[in-house]
Amino acid sequence: MTLASDAAGLLDRIDLGAVTPRRVGRLAAYDGLMLEATGLSQPVGAAVRVIDDEGRPARAEVVGFKNGRTLLMALDGDAPHRAGARVEPDARGGSAEVGEALLGRVVDALGNPLDGLGPIGAHHRAPLAGRRSNPLDRARVTEAFDMGVRAVNALFTAGVGQRIAICAGSGVGKSVLMGQMIQGADCDVVVVGLVGERSREVSDFLATKLSGPVRDKSVVVAVPADHPPVLRLRAAMRATAIAEYFRDQGLKVLLLIDSLTRVAHAQREIGLSLGEPPTMKGYPPSALGLIPRLVERAGADSRSGGSITALYTVLADGDDTDDPIVDAARSIVDGHIVLSRALAERGVFPAIDVGKSLSRVMSDIVAPEHAAAAAMCKRLWSIYEENRDLVLMGAYAQGSDPMIDAAIAHQPVILDFISQPAKAQIDMAQSIADLVERFGG
């Protein structure tokens, strides 16, 4: 009798109106990587789990709705799905593990360790999609960021909190230049997102470009090209979320995404699967709209004093620098470095096209003497390129124009200045001194 009365009293104290039932659905259709579920009420971007007959979960993400059904994109491409399988929400799927425990580790798009060093053990979480911030909380770029590459430091000086795109065709040296910048960067934390690359390049990147002391302050998120598009997209979002956490701690973070084009390709696959109309060169609107949403998450934070200086490699398909993805990236970043295949074929590394590259914050962070020397170098480069055909054909007569004569004389000097061995590091002070010595006055 006492037990019954205690139970009744306990039931009376429970507020049944405050209890929210957990909505679960059932798998109704499966076509490739696209799944359809009924009875599931989750917003776009939410994570879910599809439970098989043996109780093993397969992860998926809500990407849209159609005819009263919820559309899901599978994260596990080889999972044994069956009709009527239970589909339940995954509360932790929309966030990323963050924290100091990630330093020195390599994880996949879901946060699982790839380096064989055991569980991560990070105790903090951050939303994969980031938090919408007040634009007035974004600090101005007023401090130079030492990249360790002479041509970048001197001619296209980067700033703390700047976003830079490295644009080039395949095989011109984007990843090698990025690795050189990692070794020479003056920062507290390095976060690298290797998205859609070859599996061989992932291990090669770790062995050659993240070797030595820089490995201990680095976090790598790696998803090769053969993974589902949602995982490739999540890799870029996870890397950015990790960088945001360290920025909120007041640290100076270097974020590298290789490559932004592969991220856009992943979004294109998802968009076309959902029936989005292809617009420019087969890219649906969501693929082009993804770039500013991802890039705008980087930058300096005036509240914490931390910063994310971001480098994004952008693949120019067919060496077309007017490709929609290249153009969209170039329009939203604070500077771009264009690599020339012609220079690379002549053995120049880094093969930076001086005339087409730009740093939009350089005028705010360099001294007048430095700015004047950089402007002179760029002017001599442009004059030579404008008259290159005349010079090579022998149609230009020496002495006809003093500036063309100077440009011809300085062309070997400029090529020597921008050239730098892949494993060499030249700091900011030395880069500026070399520039002023050769092109100042």
Angle at 47 between CA 45 and CA 49, to 5 degrees: 150
Tell me, what DSSP letter sits at residue 103? Answer: T
Whether residue 151 is predicted with pLDDT greater than 70 in this model: the reply is: yes
Give yes or no for a contact between 123 and 96, defined as CB atoms under 8 angstroms apart.
Answer: no
Residues in the chain: 441
Tell me, what's the pLDDT at 6? Answer: 63
- pLDDT reading at 1 higher than 50: no
Highest mean pLDDT among 85-94, 267-276, 293-302: 293-302
CA pseudo-torsion sign 381, 386, 389, 395: negative
Q: pLDDT value at position 20?
A: 58
Q: What is the pLDDT of residue 7?
A: 59
Angle at 136 between CA 135 and CA 137, to 5 degrees: 90
Rounded (10°) angle between helices 324-332 and 260-273: 120
Residue 259 confidence (pLDDT): 85
The residues that bridge with 253 in the sheet, in sequence order, are: 189, 308
DSSP code of 327? Answer: H
Q: Is residue 72 within 8 Å of residue 34, measured between CB atoms?
A: yes
Residues 6 or more apart from 295 whose CB is under 8 A from it? 163, 260, 310, 312, 329, 332, 333
Confidence of residue 5 (pLDDT cuts 50, 70, 90): low
What would the pLDDT profile of 391-432 be if each residue is shown by its tens digit? Answer: 888 888 888 889 999 999 999 999 999 999 988 999 999 999
Rounded distance, CA 245 to CA 217, Å? 14
Contact yes or no for 111/237 (Cβ under 8 A)? no
What pTM was computed for the model?
A: 0.88
Amino acid at 292: P
pLDDT digits (tens, 9 = 90+) for 161-177: 999 999 998 888 888 89
DSSP 399-428: TS-HHHHHHHHHHHHHHHHH---TT----H
CA distance 369 to 108: 46
Q: CA-CA distance, 78 to 126, in Å (whole number)?
A: 28
> Is 70 exceeded by the pLDDT of residue 290?
yes
Q: pLDDT tens, 202-255?
A: 888 888 888 888 999 999 999 998 888 889 999 999 999 999 999 999 999 999
Higher pLDDT, 319 or 401: 401
| Structure tokens given for 90 | 């995954």
Which residues touch 55 (CB under 8 Å, ≥6 apart)?
Answer: none
The answer on pLDDT for 18 being more than 80 is: no
Q: What is the pLDDT of residue 9?
A: 60
The CA distance from 207 to 256, in Å, is: 17
Of 126-130, 142-146, 221-225, which range is least confident? Answer: 126-130
Note whether 427 and 184 are within 8 A (CB): yes
Residue ranges and CATH numbers for the domains of the chain are: 20-89 (2.40.10.170), 97-366 (3.40.50.12240), 369-440 (1.20.1270.330)
Question: What pLDDT does residue 147 have?
Answer: 93
The pLDDT mean for the chain works out to 88
Query: Cis link prior to 133 (omega < 30° from 0)?
Result: no
Residue 45 DSSP SS3: coil
